[in-house]
Amino acid sequence: MKLSLKSLFLVLSLTASGCGGEVKVSESEARDFGGKALARYCESQKLASERFTLKEIGPAGEFPWMLVFSSSGMVPAQEVVVSIDKRGRIETSRDVKP
């Protein structure tokens, strides 16, 4: 697995900060991580990632970054949500709209 310099820095920051440390993720990094998470998720679910566009980005609850990607041209419509927490962990989920 080849890591980009940003990804390597994030991994090193998480390792150095220990269990309780917080990691600062910029908006451009959040967009980059979100796009990569969307691509991995779509590949695992056999979905075309190019059919998703970024609908929302910003903080939500305990997450400093939440990215919502909406599908176009898919029935039923779908949203993929990528959440990045204060420790830099990334979670991906999907919601199907009837």
**Structural class in CATH, domain 5-13+22-97:** alpha beta
Question: In whole angstroms, what is the distance from residue 80 CA to residue 91 CA?
Answer: 10
Q: What is the pLDDT along the chain (98 residues), one digit of tens a residue?
A: 444 545 544 444 444 444 557 888 999 999 999 999 999 999 999 999 999 999 999 999 899 999 999 999 888 889 999 999 999 999 999 888 77
CB 23 within 8 Å of CB 33 = no
| Domain locations in the chain as residue ranges | 5-13+22-97
